[in-house]
């Protein structure tokens, strides 16, 4: 299958998507895109034992010296401390400005690795090899790299595009069920904001997706990446509002992640709850048909994603966190609201009087 491209001029890059691409195509893909110097292979403690050796062998096949760096698995690794640790390992491995980095893992490894590569020696090239569904449909493309601040997610980061993305859906076979489900939320999100036909396709193929049928996974990921690549090419730095659409469900979602801490919600789970909330707000304020809101909720629910705020969260606290969100302009909370399935808009005019009661109605 031909590569997908992110058309960004001299920052543009290819996305290779194929079943077993990590075994069969990684060596070539990496060798023509990375400089000849040392390569850091960043992964986490779950992914490294599964795919690290194959990736290392592929990189070494092109004559590169590989320095393995492994971080603990989980959102906790998107921290200043871990970033400093990774940078220390790169120095320890005597990587210099001719070096490069490969981020092999989920969104955490991608966000952390991309950020480390962007700031190490003022920036070395990096390549994404996403292994979670969430990273394969969303986070590996687009160049948003970040670590978390204790007060807010992704607060410290930058835009830095990778030099290539290699997606091997066969790695999803070992992805734990809940992590796979979490990634489905971002896929549903993509469909809701920009592709009604994809949404219907997901509804029709929910069984095949859940059972990780190769053809269904490749189709789902390909379509999500096509959309993401096009959006990023249009609005790389989230200036026109186009890329902001990808934040559907993320306003409440990030608040839930911040309030609950990383152990409470996976990213996609929080986004799922946030999407149901946004759908309901959209019914009230943006003319989103109630029947379509019901379809969104039903699909998320059918995948086993949460569609309510569980006990233990305080609506007032969530509202406060939403007010501090970096996606806002000034004091106004901005929401992405669907108008219909496949079409959404960024709105800064949702009345405050609708927000708090809306959150309260989402409590389980």
Catalytic residue numbers, as ranges: 122, 144, 186, 228, 238, 243, 247, 250, 254, 267
Q: Does 52 bind ligand NAD (CB under 6 A)?
A: no
Nearer to ligand NAD, 109 or 283 (CB): 109
188 with 342: CB under 8 angstroms?
no
Answer for which of 8, 50, 155, 158 binds ligand NAD (CB under 6 A) is 50
Report the C-alpha gap between 272 and 265 in whole angstroms.
Answer: 10
- Element housing 29 (H / E): helix 26-31
| Residue of 78, 72, 68 whose CA lies nearest to 40 | 68
Minimal distance in Å, beta carbon 330 to ligand NAD?
A: 24
Q: Does 218 bind ligand NAD (CB under 6 A)?
A: no
42 with 113: CB under 8 angstroms?
yes
Answer for which of 139, 161, 247, 279 binds ligand NAD (CB under 6 A) is 139
Residue owning tokens 């979670």: 132
Nearer to ligand NAD, 148 or 279 (CB): 148
Answer for which of 30, 175, 188, 220 binds ligand NAD (CB under 6 A) is 175
Residue owning tokens 């996609």: 268
Report the C-alpha gap between 28 and 250 in whole angstroms.
Answer: 36
The contact pattern for ligand NAD, residues 56-95, with x = CB under 6 A and - = no contact, is: -----------------xxx--x-----------------
For the record, the structure tokens of 105 come out as 């893992």
Q: Does 267 bind ligand NAD (CB under 6 A)?
A: yes
- Element housing 256 (H / E): helix 250-260
299 with 244: CB under 8 angstroms?
no
The contact pattern for ligand NAD, residues 104-123, with x = CB under 6 A and - = no contact, is: -xxxxx-x------------
Q: Does 244 bind ligand NAD (CB under 6 A)?
A: no
- Hey, which bits of the chain come out as E strands? 4-6, 13-17, 39-44, 66-71, 100-105, 126-130, 144-149, 152-159, 164-167, 335-340, 343-347
Which residues would be at the binding site for ligand NAD (CB under 6 A)? 44, 46-47, 50, 73-75, 78, 105-109, 111, 131-132, 134-135, 138-139, 142, 144, 153-154, 171, 174-175, 179, 182, 266-267
């Amino acid at each position: 299958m031909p590569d997908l491209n992110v058309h960004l001029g001299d920052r543009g890059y290819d996305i290779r998507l194929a079943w077993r691409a990590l075994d069969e195509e990684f060596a070539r893909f990496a060798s023509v895109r990375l400089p000849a110097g040392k390569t850091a292979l960043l992964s986490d403690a779950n992914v490294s034992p599964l795919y690290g050796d194959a990736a290392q062998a592929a990189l070494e096949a092109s004559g590169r010296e590989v320095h393995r760096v492994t971080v603990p698995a989980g959102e906790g690794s998107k921290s200043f401390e871990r970033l400093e640790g990774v940078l220390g390992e790169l120095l320890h491995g005597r990587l210099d400005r001719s070096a490069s980095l490969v981020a092999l893992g989920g969104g955490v490894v991608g966000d952390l690795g991309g950020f480390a590569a962007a700031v190490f020696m003022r920036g070395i090239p990096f390549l994404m090899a996403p292994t979670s569904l969430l990273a394969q449909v969303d986070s590996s493309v687009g160049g948003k790299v970040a670590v978390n601040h204790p007060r807010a997610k992704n607060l410290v980061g930058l835009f830095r595009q990778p030099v290539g993305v290699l997606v091997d859906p066969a790695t999803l076979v070992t992805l734990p069920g809940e992590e796979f489900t979490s990634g489905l939320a971002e896929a549903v999100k993509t469909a809701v904001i920009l592709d009604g036909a994809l949404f219907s396709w997901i509804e029709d193929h929910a069984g095949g997706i859940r059972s990780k049928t190769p053809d269904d996974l490749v189709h789902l990921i390909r379509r999500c990446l096509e959309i993401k690549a096009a959006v990023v090419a249009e609005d790389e730095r989230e200036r026109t509002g186009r890329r902001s659409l990808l934040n559907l469900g993320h306003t409440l979602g990030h608040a839930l992640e911040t309030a609950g801490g990383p152990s409470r919600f996976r990213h996609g789970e929080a986004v799922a709850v946030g999407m149901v909330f946004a759908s309901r707000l959209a019914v009230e304020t943006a003319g989103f048909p109630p029947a379509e809101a019901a379809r969104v909720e039903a699909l998320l629910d059918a995948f086993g994603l949460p569609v309510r705020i569980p006990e233990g969260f305080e609506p007032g606290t969530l509202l406060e966190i939403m007010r501090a969100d970096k996606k806002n302009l000034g004091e106004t909370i901005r929401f992405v609201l669907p108008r219909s399935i496949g079409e959404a808009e960024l709105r800064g005019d949702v009345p405050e009087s609708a927000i708090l009661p809306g959150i309260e109605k989402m409590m389980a």
